[in-house]
Amino acid sequence: MYIVSVLFLCPLILKTYHRKHVAHEIYVALHHFKSLVPMMDRYVYNDGTTKNLMSLTGTIPVMFADETYNIPVCLWIEESYPQTAPICYVRPTREMMVLSGKFISSNGEVTLPYLEEWKNSECDLMTLLRVMVIMFGEFPPVYMQPHPEPEQAPCWLQFNRQPEVLSKAEGSLYLHLAREDDLPFQHENETNC
């Protein structure tokens, strides 16, 4: 019901859509891919022009190496839909990077054969999403950014307080390291390092 009302509240955007057909396709897609959300937003074309378009934005579950990953996507639906294919992107989070390759451009645009060979009477959103799930399982479109492991400081540098020299006897140096609660870390001849 929400989808149908969104479509009918945007007559300017959807003036050439087959409203009931598009509403049904979106409803079916959202029923199967529950983390997708319909949104109206401004789309910027490659030539710089902008247009308010509806999109399905969210994640789709993809199996890769026996694990399920939620791949963030955005499917832009132009006024000419279903005569023309949606414009699809992978939208990585801050922790992710686009893995450009066979079906993904460096800016995250999805270039699947299903989109390039789109036929109005044969293609739909649900099938497109299923094709994306399968293809992304074979050719992952994103990867997690590597985070360098922080170097571990030597044991003696891990304490954030300055040691106090207690005494110097027979060539040995004795230190007192205080904890947050001002109790000693160890007893007499024990060591942590």
Q: Is residue 153 part of a domain?
A: no
Q: Is residue 189 part of a domain?
A: no
Q: What CA dihedral angle connects 50, 52, 58 and 62, to 10 degrees?
A: -60
Q: Is residue 174 part of a domain?
A: no
Q: Omega into 140 within 30° of 0, i.e. cis?
A: no
The CA distance from 99 to 102, in Å, is: 10
CATH of the domain at 81: 3.10.110.10
What is the number of alpha carbons within 13 Å of residue 17 lying toward its C-beta? 26
Q: Is residue 180 part of a domain?
A: no
Q: What domain range includes position 9? A: 2-144
Structural domain tally of the chain? 1
pTM for this structure? 0.67
Tens digits of residue pLDDT in 80-107: 999 999 999 999 998 999 988 889 999 9
Q: Is residue 118 part of a domain?
A: yes
Tens digits of residue pLDDT in 25-55: 999 999 999 999 999 999 999 999 999 999 9
The CA distance from 102 to 131, in Å, is: 14
